A and B are shown apart, each in its own frame.
Chain A
Amino acid sequence: MKCGIVVFPGSNCDHDCYHILNKVLGQETHWLWHKDDVDLSSFDLVVLPGGFSYGDYLRAGAISRFSPIINSVILFAEKGGKVLGICNGFQILLESGLLPGALIQNHTRKFICKNIFIRVETINTPFTQECKDQSVLQIPIAHHQGSYYIDPNSLKDMEERGQILFRYCDAKGKVTAESNPNGSVSSVAGLCNEKKNVMGMMPHPERCADPLLGNIDGQNIFQSLLSQS
């Protein structure tokens, strides 16, 4: 699988993503500079990594969304290319309109950095097909603007189309108010577009995909992407 990792000024999870895709999973991986508007058609996967692109000024992802590379990513996605946005990458995908909804400040008003649990809500996507349906993954979050918002009607449509991929839950897989760390509507932690080739999630699978770290739950997502190439 040929993977590209977009680097914005302020990306700080780009090397983690590179490490997992290239060193741990042995995939051909390239850096993509945010200022380059390039043809991505030879790629299988483009990752928008976490971080604080442009200092999160105005709104997280609001400025990076106008970087030249985003034009390339939109074209790539329109042709069915797979795009994975993690944390700040998710925020950029929402700002660019590739995914529906928005992310606002956590309801706790604090930056939250901790391990949480998410439940796999559907395995009928390229990002979750190697997961067990309704299985629970332990994956860390680290964000301040991670509270997902979308109007109730659009949420219902997304649920019906199977676009909700992950929900925050407790260790046993129960979705409760207490297990929702940031106040996201319907405890949504990750979702995809209608065509199911663009996915965004707040938790960081790249931070729990190297066996050296003792937790490889995040590998489920990368393995799902690998299994089709």
Chain B
Amino acid sequence: MLAQIHVTFKEGVLDPQGKTVHHALNNLGYDEVMDVHIGKYLEVKLDSVSEEEAEIRVREMCERLLANTVIESFHFKLVSTE
């Protein structure tokens, strides 16, 4: 099983990278761009674990290490690799 995890800044936390890319896209003429947020994408491969277990354990991994919940939020998808 593969956990596809996205970690992004929470609303209200300064995202200087996102802001810069936002400006760059506007400068290239993409005036429709309203906001850009840059985050992290992680792929975590899991072995011999049920989907229910994976759900619990991946959430725990995110809360304990992969995201700093003071500033970041996360969401993930579990994909079967068989």
Contact = CB atoms under 8 A, between A and B. Distances in A.
A109 B23 CA distance: 14
Determine the main DSSP class of A at the interface with B: loop
Contacts of B9: 104
B13 A149 contact: yes
Contacts of A66: 65
A101 interface: yes
Contacts of A104: 9, 13-14, 71
A147 interface: yes
Interface string B16-29: 11001000000000
Contacts of B12: 151
Contact of B65 (A58, A100, A105, A107): A58
B7 to A, nearest CB: 9
Nearest to B42: A58
Chain B CB count within 10 A is highest, among A59, A63, A105, A151, for A59
Contact of A95 (B20, B66, B68): B68
Given A102-B71, A104-B71, A58 B16 contact: no
A183 interface: yes
A112 interface: no
A145 to B, nearest CB: 11
A63 B71 CA distance: 17
B70 interface: yes
Nearest to A151: B12
Contacts of B68: 59, 62, 95, 102
A186 interface: no
A58 B71 CA distance: 14
B62 to A, nearest CB: 12
Given A94-B70, A183-B16, 10 more contacts: A58-B65, A95-B68, A101-B70, A102-B68, A102-B71, A104-B9, A104-B71, A107-B16, A109-B16, A151-B12
Interface of B: 9, 12-14, 16-17, 20, 65-66, 68, 70-71
Interface of A: 58-59, 62-63, 66, 94-95, 100-102, 104-109, 147, 149-151, 183
The 4 closest A-B pairs by CB, nearest first: A102-B70, A102-B71, A109-B16, A107-B16
